[in-house]
Every structure is written in C-alpha cells, then in structure tokens.
Structure 1
C-alpha cells in the first residue's frame, strides 16, 4: 500500500471518528444533558438527532420512563405507640433534568436512595399521627394520597423528580403485639357477629308475627265466607223444602214416613216396641195408604 493510500484511509478514519463524536440521538423515552469540559451547557436535550462539538462535549442520558423505588421495610410507631413494620414502594420519573443532574449527578441509585429516605420520613410522620386501625384499614387510601402530594412537592424541588404514587405493599406487626392485636380483632368480629345475629333474630320475629297475623286474618275471612255460603245454602235448602212441602203436604208426610220405616227396619236384629195404634204405623194400618 502506498503512502498516499495510507494517509487517505487515515484521513477517512479521522473524519468518521469526528462525525461519530459529533452526532447523537436521544430517544423519546430518554432525558439527556450535554456537558462541555464538565460544565453543563444544555440541561434538557429534546428527543431527536443532535450535533455536538466532538471531544469537547459529553452526553449524559437518563431513563425518562416511570421508575420504581422499592424501599426496605422500616419500623414506625402509631399515635398509640404501637410498632408497625411497613414495606412500601414509590413510582417516580425525572421532571427537571437540570436539577436532577445537579443533585444526583445523574446516578439513578442516588436518586432512589434519597427518595426512599424521604418516603420513610413522610411515612413516619403520617403513621405517627394515626391509630393502628386507621393505618391498617380505616384511612390507608387517604394516608397514601396525602403522602404522595406532600412528598411530590419536596421531591420536585429538591431532587427534580415527580413522585406519581406511593403504595404500601404490606404492614406487619411485631411478634410481641401480634397476638394482642389478633385477640382484639377477633373480639371485634365476634361483637359484630352477635349484633348481626341479634338483628336477624329480631327481624325473624317481626316477619314471623306478621305471617301469623296474616294467617289468622286469612283463616277468619275464609271461615266467615264459608259460614256465609253455608248459611245461604241452608236457607236455599230450607226454602226448597218449604216450597215442596207446601205443594203437597200429604205426599211429603208419606215420603218422610217411608224413609223412617226404611231406617227403622234396616237391621234384621233390631227390636222395637211401639204401640200399633201410634202415629208411626198410621200408613201401615191403612189399606189404601191413607191416614
């Protein structure tokens, strides 16, 4: 290879190196700053293709997406002086790149550590002003909201980050208070169960009394209607008999006597002692069936 070709390749390599150090790309999920000899000259580089001074300018990129800081479990005391072991995490992202770089040097670990310390301090203040019941179940959502709002203001100003959410993964009780808390919770649930059973028994008595009253009313109405219908039937029957009797009284008396004979002589072993001249035998003593 000739000297001319060698110098040509060397010049091309230098040009490529200069171009490679002059152009950089920032993606849409990244935040970046540009330093010139260690001094910050562009505190918030927008996404896209950019040009910098080769070998003089240095690019620092940071993750601009939502990040998660998983804090280590901490011990806190409630207003009742009950100790709790709280395990929490925080969701955050870079808001002010300039402030973020100045405070943390662009190190995500440093930012997460400082944020975790502030979360612990805020949790200590919030839990210290509430009872055990409020922290565990009663006001947990309110506590998390107040904690997020309060911490976001200070973190945005001091760390250049935006705290989106803070959540408690779990709350444990120390072994020395677990049994007492369990006994108290069990007693509270038993009290609620007794109240529910008492209310249920009271409602059952009310329903049972109302049902008995409705049954009594229905039976009374049914008996009244039945007696009314039976009375109307008896009246109709009596009127029918009376009408038939009034049409031919002798025939009616004869039919009644025949029915009486039939019932009296139905049993072969029956014995009756009756005067032959009595009215019972008036039709039997008459040859033509007359009285």
Structure 2
C-alpha cells in the first residue's frame, strides 16, 4: 500500500494540472478569446467559469483576455489651426470599448496599446479637420458640441475597422496659444478703448445738450424774475407815490417837514460827509428858531446915540 502512494500522488497531481489548465474564469469587466493553434474558436463575453482543452503550453488551446469596459484615450496639447490661420492648444479624449473581439484580435493582435496608437493618429487628424473648417470663435461657442459629434462621426469608421466602438468624444480644453492670446488681448483692448471713446463722446454730447438747456433755462428764469421784479417795483413805486401824494394833500407842511428830516438823515450820516452851505440856505430852515424866520426891525432914524460914559 505504501508503494502505491507516490503513484496515486503523481496521478492526482496530473489530474489537478489538467483541471487547472482546462479552466478559465471570465469576470464582468472582461471578454475572453479562445484560441486553438492560434486560430479563434470562441469568444466568451458572459461572466462565469469556462473549460477549454488543456496543454495551452503546446498551443492546443489558449485564451486571451480582452477588456470589456469603457476605455479612455487622452490627447493632450494638440496645436490645431482654424480657418483664419490662428492656432489653438486643444486637449480632448475618446471614450471607447471593444465591441468586436475577433476583429480586434485579427487587426491589432488584441493589443490595446497598438489599437490606441492607431486611434490616436486618426483622432489627431479628425480634430485638425474639424477645427480647420471653422472660424476663430467656433470652439468657444455653442458650436463646440456639434464639433465633438463631428469628430466622433469621422472617427467611427476607423474605429470600427479595429473592432472598436466610439462611445463619446469630448474636448476638455481649447486655449489660445501665447501669440494668439496676445493678439486677441490687443484686439479686445482696442475694441474696448474704441467703445469707451464712443461712450465718452456720447456723454460729452449729452452733457453739452444738458448744459445748453440749463443755461437757457437759467436765462429764461432770470429774465422772468427780473420782469416780475420790475413789475412789482413799479407797482410799489406807484403805491409809494400815491401814499406820498395822499399825505401831501392832507398836510403839506407836515409832509414838507418829513421830507426834510429824511434828507437830513441821508445827508448827515456818519460817513464823514462834508457840506459847505450858507446858514441862510433853505436846506437848514428847520434848524432855525421859529422867530428867526421873522424880519428883525431896523432901528429908528435920528435916534440919539447912547451917551458916552465919563
């Protein structure tokens, strides 16, 4: 019995090896190509445990694992030229998946790196074509979505020939190059300066109109005020004259006295006025005593002179 144990162990090891070399597992993110002597005999796309002929080391049956999830290919810092001759720096990416494992195996030997190398060249060319037929502002406007769809449509036939399906194309960044940025800045600055000058010119014109209207209104207002003041002054003078005339008619002597007092107050104020008049002037008649207005009687003729004192 003890002599059979090594033999049983060898047979068990052979059986385990055959089972291990005949089983392969496919998970939900993979698809597996089954090859027999280098030829594709089956493609497993559903997750699970599968069997194949053993002895893959002798090329009897072999498996190649292919990705069954969405993959991403980035394209960075691509300089593209638009129709006006200016340049953009563009970053974009493709989301794709392998939808035909047989074609993918036959064209690029199932290599994702080789497929992406070919796809990158076609992606670069498609971006240049799409940007090249558009103007400077297209990639910065709502037309950007249409540009991404156009790149995807141009890229899909080439991707199909590799066994790939383009899920999406996205332009992540579209920036002006340094030279174009400076030119754009200068142009925008000139446009803003011109717009500012137009606004200032319109402002000066509006200010001139407002100033002219205000000056006209000032002149009209002052003239109207002067007119009303002259009317009021004339009416006041008329009333004043009427009052004076009424007072004169009632008591001419008192009115004459009042006018003389007003004249004294005006002429004899404290501003250092000097007047040279005769004391007998009519102007000072109210400064004299009431008797001074009467004539002094002359002495009788032939009257004896007073005797001289001894």
TM-score, normalisation: structure 1: 0.64
CA displacement at 1:120 relative to structure 2? 2.9
> Which of structures 1 and 2 has the bigger CA Rg?
2
State the match for 1:119 in structure 2: 123
SS in 1 for 2:274: coil
Alpha-carbon shift at residue 187 of structure 1 (Å): 7.6
Shift of 1:228: 5.3
Quote the Cα distance in structure 2 between the aligned partners of 1:229 and 1:185.
65
User: Which runs of 5 or more residues in structure 2 are unaligned?
Assistant: 55-60, 292-310
One of 149, 162, 165 as aligned partner of 1:161: 165
Q: Does 1:140 align with 2:144?
A: no
Maintained 8 Å contact 2:34/2:63: yes
Pairwise CA distance, 1:112: 1.4
Tell me how large the CA RMSD over aligned residues is: 4.8
Question: Structure 1 pair 163/65, CA: closer, same or farther in 2 (3 Å)?
Answer: closer
CA shift, 1:118, in A, is 0.9
Over 3 Å counting, the alpha-carbon distance change for 1:247 and 1:274 in structure 2 is same
Partner of 1:69 in structure 2?
Answer: 74
The separation in 2 between residues aligned to 1:39 and 1:121, in whole angstroms, is 33
Number of residue-to-residue matches in the alignment: 269
Whole-Å Cα distance in 2 between the matches of residues 7 and 207 of structure 1? 111
Give 1:67 shift: 0.8
Of 57-66 and 105-114, deviating more is 57-66
Provide closer, same or farther for how the CA distance between residues 9 and 110 of structure 1 changes in structure 2, counting only shifts above 3 A. Answer: same
* Alignment match, 1:24: 25
Cα distance in 2 for partners of 1:206, 1:237 equals 46
**2:266 corresponds to 1:263:** yes
Unaligned runs of 5+ in 1: none
CA distance in 2, matches of 1:50, 1:104: 26
Cα distance in 1 for residues equivalent to 2:235 and 2:10 = 135
| C-alpha distance after superposition, 1:30-86 (max 9, x if no partner) | 3423425352533643xxx51211555736141623413336857x77768x69696
Cα–Cα, structure 1 residues 209 and 15, in superposed 2: closer, same or farther, change >3 Å?
same
- TM-score w.r.t. structure 2 length? 0.61
Name the residue aligned to 1:106.
110
Correspondence for 2:211: 212
Task: State yes or no: 1:195 paired with 2:198.
Answer: no
